[in-house]
A and B are shown apart, each in its own frame.
Chain A
Amino acid sequence: MSLPAKTLTLAAIVKCDEWLHQSSIVGHTEMKDESPTLFPSHNLVIRLFNSTLLRLLLFTLGQGLALTSRISPSVRSQITRTVTFEISTDDGVVRRWHFNGQQRWIATGAGHSRSPAQALRFPSSGQALRVLLSPRCIGEIVDGLQNGTIRLQGSLFLTFWFFGLTRKLAPIGRENGRRETGPRGPLPDRYVQHDPRANGSEQIIIEPAVTQLDPHWTSAWEQRAKLLIVRATTGEPMPEG
């Protein structure tokens, strides 16, 4: 399946989600998940529908990311570590993504990973659909973590990174309909080139631009190699906080 075709499939799913929201099916399922129902067979159908839809969504996301990792330099440039990310639900839907930092590609599959470094678990397929297809997906996840309905193994920042990659495919997780929050448009009063009047009575010494540390300053190179920010580019694990 080509990338445009996958994007179209995703768009169809998003449309389907709109219908789900309008008809309150996902929300209805959430209620049924938590309390007994008078119509268990109806509930079962909806659960099956939700889990099937979620599987389709995750399959599409998985394949889409895997394909994109082979053709998109932007995505490849962000696959910098070998790590497995997993999304699962308590009612049995599981999809994992394996990020290969060496080869810079993504593989995907159904079922649990042996030891996912990063796992996001929803209580039900219905809730997972509602969250993943929400325009404020990240916000829903954060809310879920805060109130304990969603469980996270690993780093929240790594989850942000994952959804940043999915947004290369589809607008999942936009904040308030925008891809990024923050100031809109250029801000006034930029300082973007040296102005000798901007330093009071002091003079800034400015020499020609350079592209790297002086190769003859060997002791500085040795000390620089000890910095976490430099070691981080070699694959060394970093502390989070």
Chain B
Amino acid sequence: MTKAPPQGLNDRALGWLRYIWDKATTPDDWSDRGEPHPWWDRYCEPPMCSFPRFDLPYTAYVLPVMIEATPAWREAYVRIADEVARRYTTFWGAVDWNTLIGPDPGVDRYPPEFLTLIPEKLRGRYAPPGWTGNGIEPWGLQPDPVGADGNVFYPGWLNLLLGMRRYVSGKADQDERFDVTGYRNRQFTWTHARIAALISAQMAARPQGPHCENTKIWPFCVSATGLGLKLYDALLGTTFHAPFPRWVEYVRKHYMEIDRDGNLAWFVLYYDPIQQRAETFPHKVTAYSAITVLLYLYPQDRAFAEQLYTLSMRLLAWSDPSRPVVQLVDHPLNLACALFIARELGDSTTETRLREIAETKYEPRFFGAENDRFAFRLGIDSEWPRGQVNSILMLSECSAPGAWWRVFNEPNLKMHNEPTVCDVDYPNLGIRRAQNDMVRGVLEIETIAATPSRRGTATQFTVKGLPDPANVVVTVDDQKFTRWHVTATDTIRIETDVHEHQFRVAFRSSSPPKQADRIVPGILSTAEPIR
């Protein structure tokens, strides 16, 4: 796919980054003695997605696509990825598998809206989506949320999250051990590599797809699981994703139907192989089931995803400019997914129509004490923006079209070995753009005052990985700049202020820089604001 020209992050993306930085770096207690901060979204899409775990990988989705604007500045993304991954392996990360134990005692007490997520003949006597049912027959109690027969959405999304962390950090940590909290707080040691191998094996052994929630198979979850394997392969050259195409064939054959008119007749929300029943939404509403998989399927099987997208948009008439966009059900997450995929696929008609809905109904707002955070408030009377929906909506704000596909198919692995901006005093100083042009030998950096009240205060950052730091030429806002010095064999430190600036670090210029163009190593002058 053609890569879009390098662009900086827009103000909304910077505002969203500021907000998810707050969420990720503010300590909270995800143990069984504590409770996640309420800004972690455990409210969206009940009953199946209303667990805070979902907000963790969702939060990370923007990170690998934002990298296209800032491949030479990733440390804030790595910190966010680290913080959300750390939470994922806690008690609350697997609160469903660890506490929704045994047969569901409330099968006949759920609200009608939940009952409609159950095949009609089973309503009132069958656990709804979201009830994981660890411990039921015939599976027994499986205390490890990763090593389980019927919980693939847990290791599946963990693998995807770890892959994103691996991508933004470039750190070869796939064999590093970490603990996952299971039933009764037992700790289970895993590595990223072992998790990827396990779910790949499960996918290979189960043509119907690995199970979530004893005992349901969700195309949504299996697609996300496949995407994590796709990324793992892209980063490490493995073949864990190999079983996925066969599952896609199974989906085409058994989990959907196209009628004689070429319309999507139904698409499975989930299938229970023990009950041998599928849940499908009736009539055109079935498009909502298909939309849920698009985000994950599209980088893995673009043609099939495009087909499902086209069928869904046709059913809902969202792509028909002669008709208004009608949302049959109030699920902003689905509209956010459709908007993002429309943009990725270049369907500008649908994108414009859906963006209009998002702009007029979903309340895009800057907020916070300094009005520097950004999110869609969605018309919900809540102190904090809903993380899951915003994470998808913000994908459209934080990336160029095609960026999501590129993460999994053409990841930028070179960036890990190129000059990199580090030690930025984020979130006081922000980075809108940081990109290397390795042909010209230039690193371009655009800074902003990420915290407006700190504008003008002194700060500094370093640039590492320079081939010959003593001979770089630095300019700021097209002016010669001297407030930098060499601090290591491949590193310089730049002294500046919290402000909007455009730095240019020429690290392979045709003419060697004059001695007067730089500060002599070891002689640090007092940093002063640069105007």
Enumerate chain A interface residues (CB-CB to B < 8 A): 74, 76-78, 80-81, 83, 136, 138-139, 142-143, 145-148, 155-158, 160-162, 164, 167, 175-176, 179-183, 185-195, 197-214, 217, 219-221, 223-224, 226-230, 232-234, 238-241
Enumerate chain B interface residues (CB-CB to A < 8 A): 32-33, 35, 42-47, 50-51, 91-92, 95-96, 98-103, 105-117, 119-121, 123-125, 128, 130-131, 135-144, 147-149, 183-184, 194, 197-198, 200-202, 205-208, 211, 215, 250, 254-255, 257, 265-266, 268, 271, 273-274, 276-286, 316-317, 323, 326, 328-333, 380, 389
23 interchain pairs, CB-CB under 8 A? A80-B112, A146-B284, A148-B326, A157-B117, A160-B285, A164-B116, A164-B123, A180-B120, A180-B277, A180-B278, A182-B119, A183-B255, A192-B273, A199-B147, A199-B202, A205-B142, A206-B140, A209-B137, A217-B184, A220-B91, A223-B91, A224-B95, A226-B35
Query: In the complex, A99→B208 CA distance in Å?
Result: 39
B187 CB → nearest A CB, Å: 12
A191 CB → nearest B CB, Å: 5
Instruction: List B contacts of A220 (CB < 8 A).
Output: 32, 91, 98-99, 184
Contact A161–B283 (Cβ < 8 Å): no
Contact A183–B278 (Cβ < 8 Å): yes
Query: In the complex, A239→B202 CA distance in Å?
Result: 34
Contact B140–A200 (Cβ < 8 Å): no
Query: In the complex, A27→B199 CA distance in Å?
Result: 55
With contact pairs A146-B326, A232-B47 given, residues A195 and B205 touching in the complex (Cβ less than 8 Å): yes
Instruction: List A contacts of B33 (CB < 8 A).
Output: 219
B99 (CB) vs chain A CBs: closest residue: A224
B353 CB → nearest A CB, Å: 14
Contact B271–A187 (Cβ < 8 Å): yes
B95 (CB) vs chain A CBs: closest residue: A223
Contact B109–A233 (Cβ < 8 Å): yes
B332 (CB) vs chain A CBs: closest residue: A241
6 closest Cβ contacts across the A-B interface? A77-B124, A200-B201, A233-B106, A182-B278, A198-B205, A161-B112
Contact A160–B116 (Cβ < 8 Å): yes
Contact B286–A78 (Cβ < 8 Å): no
Query: In the complex, A228→B317 CA distance in Å?
Result: 33
Instruction: List A contacts of B277 (CB < 8 A).
Output: 180, 182
B153 CB → nearest A CB, Å: 15
A186 (CB) vs chain B CBs: closest residue: B276
A217 CB → nearest B CB, Å: 6
Contact B136–A209 (Cβ < 8 Å): yes
Contact B123–A187 (Cβ < 8 Å): no
Known contacts A202-B201, A212-B105, A224-B95; 16 additional CB pairs below 8 A are: A80-B115, A83-B112, A139-B283, A143-B284, A146-B316, A160-B285, A181-B265, A181-B286, A183-B271, A187-B271, A201-B197, A219-B32, A227-B99, A228-B43, A241-B45, A241-B330
A197 (CB) vs chain B CBs: closest residue: B205
Query: In the complex, A27→B267 CA distance in Å?
Result: 32
Contact of A241 among B148, B215, B331 (CB under 8 A): B331
Contact B208–A189 (Cβ < 8 Å): yes
Contact of B142 among A146, A204, A233 (CB under 8 A): A204
Best-surrounded residue of B32, B99, B380 (most CB of chain A within 10 A):
B99
With contact pairs A182-B278, A186-B276, A204-B149 given, residues A228 and B254 touching in the complex (Cβ less than 8 Å): no
With contact pairs A182-B278, A224-B100 given, residues A157 and B142 touching in the complex (Cβ less than 8 Å): no
Query: In the complex, A241→B43 CA distance in Å?
Result: 9
Query: In the complex, A193→B329 CA distance in Å?
Result: 36
Contact A228–B206 (Cβ < 8 Å): no
Instruction: List A contacts of B323 (CB < 8 A).
Output: 146-147
Contact B116–A161 (Cβ < 8 Å): yes
Contact B135–A192 (Cβ < 8 Å): no
Instruction: List A contacts of B183 (CB < 8 A).
Output: 214
Query: In the complex, A161→B317 CA distance in Å?
Result: 24
Contact A80–B100 (Cβ < 8 Å): no
A174 (CB) vs chain B CBs: closest residue: B282
B112 CB → nearest A CB, Å: 4
Query: In the complex, A172→B440 CA distance in Å?
Result: 71
Query: In the complex, A74→B207 CA distance in Å?
Result: 34
Query: In the complex, A199→B503 CA distance in Å?
Result: 51
B195 (CB) vs chain A CBs: closest residue: A202
A124 CB → nearest B CB, Å: 21
Contact of A240 among B101, B206, B276, B331 (CB under 8 A): B331
Contact B201–A77 (Cβ < 8 Å): no
Contact B138–A194 (Cβ < 8 Å): yes
B417 CB → nearest A CB, Å: 32
Query: In the complex, A220→B143 CA distance in Å?
Result: 14
Contact A210–B50 (Cβ < 8 Å): no
Contact A77–B200 (Cβ < 8 Å): no
Query: In the complex, A83→B115 CA distance in Å?
Result: 15
B449 CB → nearest A CB, Å: 36
Contact A194–B149 (Cβ < 8 Å): yes
Instruction: List A contacts of B197 (CB < 8 A).
Output: 200-202
Contact B113–A211 (Cβ < 8 Å): no
Instruction: List B contacts of A200 (CB < 8 A).
Output: 197-198, 200-202
Contact B282–A175 (Cβ < 8 Å): yes
Query: In the complex, A218→B484 CA distance in Å?
Result: 58
Contact A229–B255 (Cβ < 8 Å): no
Contact B254–A187 (Cβ < 8 Å): yes
Instruction: List A contacts of B121 (CB < 8 A).
Output: 179-180
Contact A241–B329 (Cβ < 8 Å): yes
Contact A239–B201 (Cβ < 8 Å): no
A233 (CB) vs chain B CBs: closest residue: B106
Contact B111–A232 (Cβ < 8 Å): yes
Contact B329–A157 (Cβ < 8 Å): yes
Instruction: List B contacts of A142 (CB < 8 A).
Output: 282-285, 328
Contact A158–B112 (Cβ < 8 Å): yes
A216 CB → nearest B CB, Å: 9
Contact B266–A139 (Cβ < 8 Å): no
Contact A156–B123 (Cβ < 8 Å): no
Query: In the complex, A204→B352 CA distance in Å?
Result: 48
Query: In the complex, A125→B198 CA distance in Å?
Result: 59
Contact B130–A229 (Cβ < 8 Å): yes
Query: In the complex, A228→B131 CA distance in Å?
Result: 11
Query: In the complex, A206→B143 CA distance in Å?
Result: 7
Contact of B124 among A74, A145, A239 (CB under 8 A): A74
Instruction: List B contacts of A162 (CB < 8 A).
Output: 112
Contact of B140 among A199, A209, A224 (CB under 8 A): A209
